């Protein structure tokens, strides 16, 4: 089993540019999460999907962040335009109800 | 507000010692609790998952306990090794299915 796969692993962009992250969850996991982790902090939820439906996006800054999960499998997270404060690690996780969470390796974003 | 707290923020112990990491949470209505390990610049690796109906889980040198009534969990590491050096994160799935993380304990094992 490949686990949760994220790409790219690292991304450096200039401020005001757009950026997108991709996540492929574990096969059969209906629930998918995007988390943001700042240095020295625990991950914080951005959005949670149940299949293709976003059931909790209350922490997603919707003025610049968007996400989609077409067909209830892969997901993309987009930032447009990026700001310096968006520099962080973006983590994707998936789970099946009753089980724990499996995280991907994350995407480290640096906005310069 | 549902919160998860981990104390201490950092811990250094000599190799070979047993140690305990602490996690506390504010709402006893939890679904499960999970301990993760995170190495610098890496993602999260799941160590142990405790369902709300369980009191402990064991994997090798690791043992995690759960006391819902007091809102506490501990991660016990036996016979520590330098390779155990990492940040350990406690995460609680509360009854509303929201996973909330503590800020972690940065563990350093001194050879």
pLDDT digits (tens, 9 = 90+) for A25-69: 999 899 999 999 998 888 999 999 999 999 999 899 999 999 999
Question: pLDDT below 70 — which residues of chain B?
Answer: 96
In order of A28, A32, A36, A69, B69, the CA distances from A73 in angstroms are: 9, 8, 20, 6, 37
Partners of B45 on chain A (C-beta within 8 Å) are 103
Q: Over chain A, what is the mean pLDDT? A: 93
Rounded to the nearest angstrom, the minimum Cα separation between B12 and chain A is: 17
Taking residue B33's Cβ as centre, other Cβ atoms within 10 Å add up to 27
Specify the 3-state DSSP secondary structure of A14.
coil
Predicted local confidence at residue B98, as pLDDT: 75
Specify the 3-state DSSP secondary structure of B97.
coil
Model confidence over A91-108: pLDDT tens digits?
999 998 777 899 999 999
């Amino acid at each position: 089993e490949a686990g949760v796969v994220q790409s790219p692993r690292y991304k450096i962009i200039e401020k005001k540019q757009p950026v997108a992250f991709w996540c492929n969850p574990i096969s059969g996991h209906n629930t998918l999460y995007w988390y943001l982790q700042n240095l020295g902090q625990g991950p914080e939820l951005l959005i949670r999907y149940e299949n293709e439906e976003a059931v909790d996006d209350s922490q997603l800054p919707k003025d610049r962040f968007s996400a989609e999960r077409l067909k209830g499998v892969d997901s993309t997270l987009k930032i447009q335009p990026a700001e310096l404060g968006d520099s962080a690690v973006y983590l994707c996780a998936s789970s099946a109800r009753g089980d724990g969470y499996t995280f991907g390796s994350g995407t480290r974003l640096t906005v310069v | 507000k549902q919160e998860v707290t981990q104390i201490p923020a950092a811990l250094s112990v000599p190799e070979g010692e047993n140690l305990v990491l602490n996690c506390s949470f504010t709402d006893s209505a939890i679904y499960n609790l999970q301990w993760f390990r995170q190495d610098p610049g890496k993602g999260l690796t799941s160590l142990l998952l405790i369902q709300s109906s369980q009191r402990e889980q064991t994997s090798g040198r690791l043992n995690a306990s759960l006391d819902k009534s007091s809102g506490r969990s501990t991660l016990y590491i036996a016979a520590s090794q330098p390779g155990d050096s990492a940040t350990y994160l406690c995460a609680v799935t509360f009854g509303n299915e929201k996973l909330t993380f503590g800020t972690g304990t940065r563990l350093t094992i001194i050879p």
